[in-house]
Structure 1
Amino acid sequence: MTVSSLIDAIKVDALEQELAPALTLDGFLRDVQRRAFRLAEIQLGHSEDAVDAVQDAMLRLVSHYRDKPSTEWAPLFWGILRRRIVDLQRRRKVRSIVVGWLGGGKDQDGDELPGWEPADLNPGPAKRLEDAQSYADMTAAVQELPRRQREAFLLRVLEGMDVADTALAMGCSQGSVKTHLSRALSNLRLRLEHWQ
């Protein structure tokens, strides 16, 4: 093997190593996209807000953490998504209060603007294709859980993350994750006992 062919092989190998994390990150995002949307939709109750939250979380992961090891992507992504969902829920609550106080207001022509309406929580076509009633009951029961219990349940049970990664994503201790999950499961058993 000549020196120039050895240098070319090293360059190709280095280029492949530079491109591999981007392809791996792209694969991670493609793999997590559907589950993240379902989680966000359950928490927000509105598909457009869920799409926005997932896209924002993906963008932030890529722009700020693409150089992190692939083992850290899942907890980082779910933590970013969790914070984005909480932000959207807070904004929705503030918007609803402000619009309630001010009414719908008037546009430039003086016509009455409609007041802000909360998201329609009725099941959409995708939900009707599945077992509509049980899915709707489960979604409602999960949405009624306190926020931290809901997060622990969605990350541990639906996403399948381990306790350590869930604790990292939620920004709490592993013991807190176990406590929140135990309480969430207990609450869900009570609310969904008619399905057992």
Structure 2
Amino acid sequence: MATEQELSDFLKSVEKRAFKRSLYHVRNEEAALDIVQDSMLKLAEHYGDKPPAELPMLFQRILSNCTLDWFRRQKTRNALFSSMSDFEGNDEDGAEFNLLETYSGPDGDEAAQSAETLTQRAQTLQGIEAEIQGLPARQREAFLMRYWEEMDVAETAAAMGCTEGSVKTHCFRAIQTLSKALKARGITL
């Protein structure tokens, strides 16, 4: 059984990654914050008594479901208000976040690196970020869980509610698409 402190520590450890993952999906900062907050509340309310080892899988599943619920609400809302001329739906403001804050160079001392190196790294990461956002939703979700959240295939399949084979296929296609797109941009990793 997770103690209150263990649950709190777990939520603190996943909040930034969960926000970025949600932001990749919904492309709206406020909505991403709401989704993460709802996910955390549901985990605490319904599963706070579970063992700490089970929390990561439960949270990933809850986060995925909250994201899907958000899209369903948006679809319903847009269908209801589509005839209103003054309603424009979700006009995204180009919500961005900087992957550099999560990237640390091999020596961890970015201040000592040249401005040119930092600029090249920033451009590379912006290119990668743009291409990840362009992936189909299921590919993006599988890719982020596997390579961002570092979940294994079985955990990803359980969180996404699909088979392990589907996860492998989604990841393979995402990697192929990203590789081609980045190569076209002149980015080599």
Bin for the TM-score computed over the shorter chain: 0.7 to 0.9
CA distance in 2, matches of 1:33, 1:163: 22
Residue type at the aligned position of 1:147: A
Deviation at 1:164, TM superposition (A): 1.6
Deviations 1:33-56 (A, max 9, x none): 111111111111111111100000
Greater relative contact order, per chain length (Cα 8 Å cut-off, separation 6+): 2
Is 143-152 or 92-101 further displaced after alignment? 92-101
Deviation at 1:70, TM superposition (A): 1.5
1:152 is aligned, of 126, 136, 142, to 142
Q: Which runs of 4+ in 1 moved over 2 A?
A: 89-100, 114-117, 126-140
Residue 53 (1) aligns with residue 35 (2): yes
> What are structure 2's unaligned runs of at least 5 residues?
102-120
Is 36-45 or 172-181 further displaced after alignment? 172-181
* Closer/same/farther in 2, CA of residues 96 and 61 from structure 1, 3 Å limit: same
CA distance in 1, matches of 2:160, 2:99: 31
1:116 is aligned, of 86, 89, 99, to 89
Residue type at the aligned position of 1:92: Q
Q: TM-score normalized by structure 1?
A: 0.76
> What are structure 1's unaligned runs of at least 5 residues?
1-17, 105-113
Deviation at 1:173, TM superposition (A): 1.7
CA distance in 1, matches of 2:100, 2:144: 22
Aligned position for 1:71: 53
- Aligned pair count? 167
Computed over aligned residues only, the root mean square deviation of the Cα atoms, in angstroms, reads 2.3
Residue type at the aligned position of 1:127: N
Superposition pairs for residues 18-167 of structure 1, below 5 Å?
A: 21-104=3-86, 115-121=88-94, 123=96, 126-127=97-98, 133-167=123-157
Q: TM-score normalized by structure 2?
A: 0.78
* Closer/same/farther in 2, CA of residues 143 and 89 from structure 1, 3 Å limit: farther
